């Protein structure tokens, strides 16, 4: 499978990540990616940059030949902050993002019941900027995968297979075991998925090895994975309902 894009990466602006935008772009280019997305954490996660970080992305060249030699998209990884799916970036700034990932993170929302967690993700998907649900197979937040996959297809949202959740010693232990259920639901509903590195340092940009291993293991169909086509991803985030 061609794997040409990674749009779940973090820079120094996330507070607990260690490379600059330039370093991330150089690493992505060196690895042969065609599209890099930067999605730093929303302002509610402790020690990330404040909301004004997100107000000036207009100065960042998106085209390869005007900037770092690789096409860029600039987004945000929003924190979901309640079970209705509210998120943590003010609307006028969110509006300026090329795309948003929405995720459940410990410091911003405590785990609810399966119904509450599912409602939180479904609520976040209703925001038209949200194009990806990040690491939905975190066992800390049990979710109804079938309902999630159905809503994702209907709302034009990608479900993520998050590599950093699956690597040995990764931060969301137990995700490997749930990934099969997530893929089964996506397959049954015909829902598109995206592989994301969730890199917090340049060396991990484009790293999708553990996610690809699970894709193979579960025989998940390539046509439901968007990573082979930067054009398809661009079209996906430009989609308006
Ligand atoms: Zn996350
Ligand atoms: Zn992340």
Distance, CA 26 to ligand 2 centroid (Å)? 19
Q: Please answer whether residues 151 and 122 qualify as being in contact, where contact means their C-beta atoms are separated by less than 8 angstroms.
A: yes
3-state DSSP helix/strand/coil % of the chain, to nearest 5: 40, 15, 45
The C-alpha atoms of residue 121 and residue 152 are separated, in whole angstroms, by: 9
Distance, CA 133 to ligand 1 centroid (Å)? 9
| Per-residue pLDDT tens digits for 16-59 | 999 999 999 999 999 999 999 999 999 999 999 999 999 999 99
Tell me the HSE value of 92 on the side-chain side, using a 13 A CA sphere: 3
Model pTM above 0.95: yes
Distance, CA 102 to ligand 1 centroid (Å)? 8
Domain CATH number, residue 178: 3.20.20.140
Mean per-residue pLDDT over the chain, rounded = 97
Distance, CA 31 to ligand 1 centroid (Å)? 23
CB atoms within 10 A of CB 51: 16
pLDDT of residue 220: 98
Q: Which H helix or E strand runs over 194?
A: strand 193-196
Q: Please answer whether residues 136 and 121 qualify as being in contact, where contact means their C-beta atoms are separated by less than 8 angstroms.
A: yes
DSSP assignment of 136-168, as one string?
Answer: TT-TTS---HHHHHHHHHHHT-EEEEEHHHHST
For residue 209, the enclosing domain spans 5-238
Distance, CA 68 to ligand 1 centroid (Å)? 25
Distance, CA 196 to ligand 2 centroid (Å)? 9
pLDDT of residue 62: 97
Share of the chain above pLDDT 90, in %: 97
pLDDT of residue 240: 57
pLDDT of residue 46: 94
Q: Which H helix or E strand runs over 181?
A: helix 175-189
pLDDT of residue 130: 98
Phi, psi for residue 82 in degrees, rounded to 5 = -155, 175
Distance, CA 222 to ligand 2 centroid (Å)? 23
| Per-residue pLDDT tens digits for 112-168 | 999 999 999 999 999 999 999 999 999 999 999 999 999 999 999 999 999 999 999
How many domains are there within the chain? Answer: 1
Question: Distance of CA 65 to CAs 37, 61, 62, 72, 202, Å?
Answer: 16, 9, 9, 11, 21
Extract the runs of DSSP E, i.e. beta strands, from 42-156.
71-79, 99-103, 130-133
pLDDT of residue 104: 98
pLDDT of residue 122: 98
Paired sense of beta strands 35-41 and 193-196, if any:
unpaired
Distance, CA 12 to ligand 1 centroid (Å)? 15
Distance, CA 65 to ligand 1 centroid (Å)? 30
pLDDT band at 239 (very low <50, low <70, confident <90, very high): confident
Share of the chain above pLDDT 70, in %: 99
């Amino acid at each position: 499978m061609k794997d040409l894009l990674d749009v779940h990466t973090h820079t120094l602006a996330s507070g607990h990540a260690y490379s600059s935008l330039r370093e991330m772009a150089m690493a992505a280019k060196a690895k042969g990616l065609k599209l890099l997305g930067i999605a730093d954490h929303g302002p509610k996660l402790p020690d990330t940059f404040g909301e004004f970080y997100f107000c000036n992305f207009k100065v960042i060249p998106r085209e390869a030949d005007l900037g770092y030699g690789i096409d860029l998209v600039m987004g945000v990884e929003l924190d979901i902050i309640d079970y209705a799916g509210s998120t943590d970036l003010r609307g006028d700034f969110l509006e300026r993002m090329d795309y948003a990932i929405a995720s459940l993170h410990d410091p911003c929302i405590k785990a609810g019941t399966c119904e509450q967690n599912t409602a939180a993700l479904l609520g976040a998907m209703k925001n038209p900027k949200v194009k990806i649900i990040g690491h939905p197979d975190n066992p800390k937040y049990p979710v109804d995968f079938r309902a999630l996959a159905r809503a994702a297809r209907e709302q034009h949202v990608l479900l993520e297979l998050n590599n950093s959740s699956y690597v040995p010693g990764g931060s969301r232990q137990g995700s490997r075991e749930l990934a099969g259920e997530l893929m089964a639901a996506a397959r049954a509903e015909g829902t598109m998925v995206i592989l994301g590195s969730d890199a917090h340092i340049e060396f991990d940009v484009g790293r999708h090895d553990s996610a690809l291993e699970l894709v193979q293991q579960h025989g998940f169909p390539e046509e439901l994975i968007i990573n082979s086509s930067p054009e398809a991803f661009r079209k996906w985030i430009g989609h308006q309902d």
